[in-house]
Amino acid sequence: MSRPFTGGCACGAVRYEVSGEPIAMLDCQCRQCQRESGTGHASHLTFAHATVKLEGQPTLWEATGDGGTVKRRAFCPTCGSPVYMTFPAAPDYFVIRAASLDEPERYQPQMVTWADAAQPWDHVSPAATKFARMPPAG
């Protein structure tokens, strides 16, 4: 097993440590991720929730994505940094923001989701597999 993935918000009030390996690493270009990130996409690492340890009390907010998925996003109430996301309908998954990693260079995007919503000025990895919306489950 590799070393844990660690990270948190900009001020350090919300922290995480993940002992497992990522299930997926992806850039999402949906409009919700564009709005939340303030740019053309958000970069995520998905893990099994059972491998995560959390410290601090984030503020949570829920929104329904373009595909109908309810997303519970967590951000620091002090500095406002987005840190992670969970899905009430899929509690086994835990998604962290790549920029919240202590070692962001460990992020290596494998795929791009919601490419149909991409902005023409947003350039993601040309080597990543692109999906018009979300990839098929399974």
Per domain, the residue ranges of the chain are 5-117
Identity of the residue numbered 83: V
Q: Which residues of the chain have pLDDT under 70?
A: 1, 137-138
Q: Provide the CATH topology of domain 5-117.
A: 2.170.150
- pLDDT score at 137: 67
pLDDT at 92: 95
Please report the DSSP string for the chain in residue order: --PPEEEE-SSSSSEEEE-S--SEEEEE--HHHHHHHTSS-EEEEEEEGGGEEEES--EEEEEE-TTS-EEEEEE-TTT--EEEEE-TT-TTEEEEEGGGBSSGGG----EEE-GGG--TT----TTSEE-SSPPPP-
Q: What is the pTM of this model?
A: 0.90
Question: Residue 116 has what pLDDT?
Answer: 95
Q: How many CB atoms lie within 10 A of CB 30?
A: 22
Half-sphere exposure of 89 (CA within 13 A, CB side): 8
Report pLDDT for 67: 77
pLDDT at 36: 87
Rg (CA), the chain: 14
Q: How does pLDDT run across 44-66, given as a tens digit for each residue?
A: 999 999 999 999 999 999 988 77
